[in-house]
Amino acid sequence: MKDARILIVDDEADIRELLEIALLRMGANTSTARSVSDAYAKLNENEFDLVLTDMKMPGGDGLDIIRHVQTLKNQPPVAMLTAYGNTELAVEALKAGAFDFVSKPIALDKLRSLVEGAVNISKTNLAPKASLIVGESIPVQKLRKQIAKLCNSMAPVYISGESGSGKELVARALHSEGSRAAQPFVPVNCGAIPAELMESEFFGHKKGSFTGAHSDKAGLFLSANGGTLFLDEVADLPLAMQVKLLRAIQERGVRAVGGEVEQAVDVRILCATHKNLVDEVEAGRFRQDLYYRLNVIELPVPPLRERTSDLPMLTNHFLARFAARAECSQPALSESARQTLSHYAFPGNIRELENILERAFTLCEDDKIEAADLGLSANTTQMLDSVDDVDNIDEFLAVMERQVLIRALEKTQGNRTEAAKNLGISFRSIRYRLDRLNINVDEIDAP
Ligand SMILES: Nc1ncnc2c1ncn2[C@@H]1O[C@H](COP(=O)(O)OP(=O)(O)OP(=O)(O)O)[C@@H](O)[C@H]1O
């Protein structure tokens, strides 16, 4: 933070002065601008580590500054000053590319953590990081560009996509490619925490606050302090917890169960679910205000069938990983195995590819994976040969998905847990798919 160069843009002299004093005390170097045009001139003359700008000013607003900065060679993070409680403007600023926002009146600890975050970005920008996301298809290149654009922002991102498409990996990439990389990444499966333990899991508890609380516990928010909290399957949060989560996100603070004081936390929030959050809001199962707060930016992860040109790279990536883990040589794919994979639709996406290859890796002989090792029925692959005739992709996929699910359930005598495992999806995912396609397990006969 020492010697960080900060530009303060505000039309009110007393706010400029107040910010200058606070930032100078923190060891930063400050410049000030009283209008948007004044700010443009300063930005053109000097390089900054952070721009702190007011929203509403005569002759232009903070959003103009965000857009202007994006055209500069050196693009310092821009943080917006917003009136307390004006979430809409804050969200608009984040969407436009602001790194973060601070509510007025400005709390010094929040200002400090904001400046620290911004200075970190200036440092990490110097060293671009290798992407975790394997693939060179157009959708993956686009995804990687979006990750690079969003990884340094505090904007909450809602990562949408089918089961197994790589949502958690995208969350990890957003964390590890950004300025928070050295801090913790804490993934949490919201559907897996029992409702009665949820508050204590998220916010921590004090010793003795309930039966079983034998010692103080920090909770997920504090464990992720300085880093990123990834709320997976966020649609599974009970409504009562949604209220508490919203409060913690808005206040940037948490109070442990049985605790007296609220503790400030600096956590970036990412979330994902394979459910359609808009439908969940409409059905009254997900709070609109929380949806609005989490879904500042939506990052869709494409299903594997929309990036089949990545299959060879992904296959190679997984086989190399299995071989390294087993300390043996990497098997090759026979031509027929390659063909079989390229004709398959992968309803379980990349996780399914990974599972198919892992099984084949264990089964194959003489370092060669044959089509039979993949365990994909001829039926499925032949059916996919007729993709040229598809005139409604959603209907076609629903028919396919139905057949895959029914076959898997027939093989396991209707055991959903086992069928889910064989398909490379979670139990929750199979339950969701069966509901969506109206498949009644009791009506499925064993072959
Ligand atoms: N582009 C990719 N490159 C390499 N590995 C990938 C890629 N995408 C996904 N994977 C791998 O595939 C597996 C499934 O990905 P991930 O768990 O991120 O999916 P998900 O969408 O979060 O699944 P779910 O909806 O079931 O929670 C993981 O092992 C992940 O590392």
pLDDT in tens, 206-249: 888 787 778 888 899 999 999 999 999 999 999 999 999 999 99
CA of 380 to the centre of ligand 1 (A): 23
* 295 vs 300: CA distance, rounded Å: 12
Distance between Cα 74 and ligand 1 center (Å): 34
Q: Does 446 score more than 60 pLDDT? A: no
Domains 138-300 and 390-447 share a fold: no
pLDDT digits (tens, 9 = 90+) for 270-282: 999 988 899 999 9
| Assigned CATH for 5-124 | 3.40.50.2300
Q: Which pLDDT belongs to residue 86?
A: 75
Look at residues 180, 66, 175 and name the one whose alpha carbon lies nearest to residue 113. 180
Q: pLDDT tens digit string along 70-123?
A: 888 888 999 998 876 677 888 888 888 899 888 888 888 888 888 888 877 766
Residue 122's pLDDT is 65
- Ranking 168-182, 386-400, 411-425 by mean pLDDT, the lowest is 386-400
Q: How many CA atoms lie within 13 A of 13 on its CB side?
A: 0
Instruction: Check pLDDT > 70 for residue 399.
Output: yes
Structure confidence at residue 92 (pLDDT): 85
Provide the pLDDT confidence category of residue 337 given band limits of 50, 70 and 90: very high
Render pLDDT for 184-218 as a digit per residue (tens, 0 to 9): 999 999 988 888 889 999 999 888 878 777 888 88
Q: What was the ipTM of the complex prediction?
A: 0.98
Identify which of 72, 241, 201, 91 has the alpha carbon closest to the alpha carbon of residue 153. 91
Taking the domains of the chain in order of start, what are their residue ranges?
5-124, 138-300, 307-377, 390-447
Q: How far is the CA of 351 from the centre of ligand 1 (A)?
A: 6
Residue 252 Cα to ligand 1 middle (Å): 29
CA of 163 to the centre of ligand 1 (A): 8
Cα–Cα distance measured from residue 232 to residue 380, given in angstroms and rounded to the nearest whole number: 31
Radius of gyration of the chain from its Cα atoms, rounded to whole angstroms: 25
Q: Is the pLDDT of residue 386 over 60?
A: no
Ligand 1 binding pocket, CB closer than 6 Å: 133-135, 161, 163-169, 232, 274, 314, 317, 350-351, 354, 426, 429
What sign does the CA torsion over 242, 245, 251, 255 have? positive
Architecture of the domain made up of 138-300 = 3-Layer(aba) Sandwich (3.40)
pTM of this prediction?
0.78
Mean pLDDT of 38-65: 90
| Mean pLDDT rounded to a whole number for the chain | 88
pLDDT at 128 over 90: no
Q: Let me know: does 174 contact 149? Beta carbons within 8 Å.
A: no
What is the amino acid identity at position 388? Answer: D
By most ligand atoms within 8 Å of CB, the mutation choice from 131, 351, 425 for ligand 1 is 351
Cis-peptide into 105, omega within 30 deg: yes
d(CA 331, CA 364): 8
Among 143, 314, 350, residue to substitute to test ligand 1 (most atoms within 8 Å of Cβ): 350
Which range has the top average pLDDT, 138-147, 363-372, 422-431? 138-147
Fold observed for domain 390-447? Arc Repressor Mutant, subunit A (1.10.10)
Lowest-pLDDT choice from 173-187, 205-219, 315-329: 205-219
- The architecture in CATH of the region 307-377 reads Orthogonal Bundle (1.10)
pLDDT in tens, 274-303: 888 999 999 999 999 999 989 889 999 999
What is the structure's pLDDT at 319? Answer: 96
Cβ contacts of 68 within 8 Å, gap of 6 or more:
39, 40, 43
